[in-house]
Amino acid sequence: MLAIIAGGCEKGPQSTPVAGIKLDKYQLTITEGDKATLTATVLPDNATNKNVSWTSSNEKVATVSNTGEVTAVAPGKATITVTAEDGAKTTKCEVTIEKRIYQVETITLDQTSLEIVEGDKATLTATVKPDNATYKGIIWSSSDEKVATIKDGEITAVAPGTATITAKAEKDDRSALCVVTVSKRVYPVESVSLDKTSLELTEGDKTTLTATVLPENASNKNVAWTSSDEKVATVSANGEVTAVAPGKAAITVTTEDGVKTAKCEVTVNKRIYPVESVFLDKTSLELTEGDKATLTATVLPDNATNKNVSWSSSDEKVATVSANGEVTAVAPGKAAITVTTEDGAKTAKCEVTINKRIYPVESVSLDKTSLELTEGDKATLTATVLPNNATNKNVSWSSSDEKVATVSTTGEVTAVAPGKAAITVTTEDGAKTAKCELTVKAKTIHVESITLNKTELRLERLDRYTLTATVKPDNATNKEVKWTSSDETIVSIFMGNGNLWAHNAGTAIITATTVDGGLTATCKVTVKELGAVDVTGISLNKSTTTLFIGSKETLTATIKPSNATDKTVTWDSSDPAVASVNNGEVTAIKAGKAIITATAKDGGYTATCEVNVSDQSPEIKIDKDNYTVAYTGETINLNITANVNYSITAKDKWIKVKGDSLIISANNSTKERTGAATISNSEYGISLTVMVKQEASPNGFDNGNPIATPQSNK
């Protein structure tokens, strides 16, 4: 297997690569306009190239200089990223910019006093200083809302009186005042009108006229009443009119304010004689629909003053009556014709019976004179009987050959078998007929589906194979199938009927299409070179891994068998926002979980690795970095806390490493000795040193016997 080593040219032995970057702050909050400096530490300390660059994710919020100085531009959030020139290692600081608050110093009003009439409005304008004050909102209030109200600087005069309007800053006690004086509004009379402009009375009668003074809120609504002729009609102070004698008079109303006037013309009539009864010349009447007859009404007494009458029908769908008593027969049935006197509402009735008029059928026709159906199908014929008002429109239906087609009582034709038949409609009245010549064709069974015996197929170059298409239903009328290839340079179809010929390596889609309905089925055909070795599987060097934001790790995919012809692998991340992948190199972007999938091009085999991205910083901690021991063979427990892998190495041979502990070997010296061990992670440039001191043995060998009080931290 060919291995590709990323990272450029190999450095000389004297060059130490950058393993990571630390920041003195990973979160920073400052006020807009302020500055702060971030300090980046390149790891390890002996890295050859410690040059870094700085960037901001949003320079409209915060900018950063090439020395790490952050300038707050505007409120918001931005991410400051420092990147090592060597190895492109990064780390980030989340910066929050808070808004700068500018206090209100003064509030002034454009008016300090104001006179206004009730119902009117006026606007006050408040000016806040300085112009850049952060909170320039104004809270308005009135000392007496029964006199004047205020909303958003607009004053509304409610009632006469005095009120003080206050404009106060929304965030402090700064305020300004305006004294508002509201005076009473005088509403003059604009017009007067009467509820009646003309009036007819009988001598001796009384009625009251109503005057309406406008506007409704006029201050003085007092009026006076006069009659142009009190011998005809008089009027009281409240508008009551009394009819004195026959004749005409004008009743005038006059407003006290403005002398506005309105008149009502009064006609006084002589007293009339009431109607006592009414009767008709007929109390019953029989007509045929469409006929007419006139009823005569007699009003009593003969000297009745008002002999006007009105006519009505109890059912105008049966019979109508005109204003002069003419009755029109509309439809069969019964109705009562009533005459009613205008004076006294006296009534008389005539019972009217309307008989049906007989209209014979003249002809019948069909909406279709010829019709073509497929066996099993149905269609409805519509018969039209003329004239439209024919009394009996009942019809019957028949078929000349019910082995070919039948017809229902409603004209629904059912095609039974191929052939010809005549459908006849016949009227019940007059035996009028009409025919429709029907042709019934044999039924076509349409294709419902098509399937292939293979949906995927692998061939070698020059191979031949025959695909089989199955068309359903089995009794489909037209089962013809057409075959096509998406790339005939790879796979062609010869002699039709699904015969395939593989020409060149690649992939082609073979499509079988039914002539009836255009239904399709496909088979994906992959052609390989002669002797090509197929991929049987794929695996990754890791099934799970944990990364920190900004870190990277390269996954290695292994194709099986090792001699597979096509070892092409594609990479994909289930969540690129958490972790992205490029040719196996995984980059941690934000905290979360993502599944990295490697897919073999040949065969589509897959392998996955679960990547967990932590939002913590890589860290190794120890509770103590200095130990003093007295015994040979004594064990020092280092008590290590870490969120990354680490290794422990001893710089001195007399210090042995076992797990997370150090073991002290025999001291053959009479002198005190010191040594060290290192706890480190090279990937993130973390290195901690633990110092160890063992006290001297007077005889050169302590033989496991105590020579001093133990001081180790166990």
C-alpha–C-alpha distance, residues 545 and 571, integer Å: 16
Instruction: Give the pLDDT of residue 386.
Output: 95
pLDDT in tens, 546-579: 889 988 899 999 999 988 888 899 999 999 999 9
Q: Residue 319 — very low, low, confident or very high, per pLDDT cuts 50/70/90?
A: very high
Instruction: Give the pLDDT of residue 669.
Output: 58
CB atoms within 10 A of CB 275: 21
Q: Residue 613 — very low, low, confident or very high, per pLDDT cuts 50/70/90?
A: very high
Instruction: Give the pLDDT of residue 10.
Output: 42
C-alpha–C-alpha distance, residues 72 and 80, integer Å: 12
Amino acid (1-letter code) at residue 356: K
Is 173 a residue whose pLDDT tops 90? no
What strands lie across the sheet with 456-460, from one edge to the other? 456-460, 520-528, 506-514, 481-485
Print the SS3 string covering 549-570.
Answer: CCCEEECCEEEECCCCCCCCEE
Q: Quick one: DSSP state of residue 256?
A: T
Nearest alpha carbon to residue 36 among 56, 17, 16, 11: 56
Instruction: Give the pLDDT of residue 152.
Output: 92
Instruction: Give the pLDDT of residue 710.
Output: 37
Nearest alpha carbon to residue 139 among 127, 130, 152, 155: 152
pLDDT in tens, 621-648: 998 889 888 767 788 899 999 888 899 9
CB atoms within 10 A of CB 217: 9
Is 44 a residue whose pLDDT tops 70? yes
Terminal CA-CA length for the chain:
50
pLDDT in tens, 279-294: 999 999 999 989 999 9
Q: Residue 14 — very low, low, confident or very high, per pLDDT cuts 50/70/90?
A: confident
pLDDT in tens, 74-100: 999 999 999 999 988 999 999 999 988
Instruction: Give the pLDDT of residue 668.
Output: 60
Q: Residue 222 — very low, low, confident or very high, per pLDDT cuts 50/70/90?
A: very high
- Give the mean model confidence (pLDDT) for residues 415-437: 94
pLDDT in tens, 113-154: 999 998 899 999 999 999 888 888 899 999 999 999 999 999
C-alpha–C-alpha distance, residues 9 and 456, integer Å: 45
Task: Tell me the HSE value of 199 on the side-chain side, using a 13 A CA sphere.
Answer: 29
Instruction: Give the pLDDT of residue 712.
Output: 35
Please answer whether residues 80 and 93 qualify as being in contact, where contact means their C-beta atoms are separated by less than 8 angstroms.
yes
Helix ranges (H only) for 324-430 are: none
Which secondary-structure segment (H or E) carries 373? strand 370-374
CB atoms within 10 A of CB 34: 12
Instruction: Give the pLDDT of residue 13.
Output: 56
Is 184 a residue whose pLDDT tops 90? no
Is 348 a residue whose pLDDT tops 70? yes
Instruction: Give the pLDDT of residue 331.
Output: 92
C-alpha–C-alpha distance, residues 83 and 21, integer Å: 8
pLDDT in tens, 646-702: 999 998 888 999 999 989 887 665 678 888 999 998 888 889 999 988 887 655 444
Instruction: Give the pLDDT of residue 200.
Output: 93
Instruction: Give the pLDDT of residue 28.
Output: 94
Mean per-residue pLDDT of the chain: 90
The residue that leads in pLDDT, 4 or 510, is 510
Q: Residue 209 — very low, low, confident or very high, per pLDDT cuts 50/70/90?
A: very high
Our measurement of the distance from residue 509's CA atom to the centroid of its chain's CA atoms, rounded to an integer in Å, reads 40
CB-based burial of residue 189 (10 Å sphere; 0-12 exposed, 13-18 middle, 19+ buried)?
buried
Our measurement of the distance from residue 320's CA atom to the centroid of its chain's CA atoms, rounded to an integer in Å, reads 60
pLDDT in tens, 361-387: 999 999 999 999 998 899 999 999 999
Give the percent of the chain with pLDDT over 90.
69
Instruction: Give the pLDDT of residue 132.
Output: 84
Is 463 a residue whose pLDDT tops 50? yes
Instruction: Give the pLDDT of residue 305.
Output: 85
Instruction: Give the pLDDT of residue 12.
Output: 47
Q: Residue 706 — very low, low, confident or very high, per pLDDT cuts 50/70/90?
A: very low
Is 455 a residue whose pLDDT tops 50? yes
Instruction: Give the pLDDT of residue 505.
Output: 86
Buried b (16+ CB within 10 A) or exposed e, 145-176: eebbbbeebebbbbeebebebbbbbeeeebbb
Name the E strands within 638-714.
Answer: 640-642, 647-650, 655-658, 661-664, 673-681, 686-694
Residues 6+ apart with CB under 8 A from 445: 473, 475, 476, 477
C-alpha–C-alpha distance, residues 422 and 403, integer Å: 12
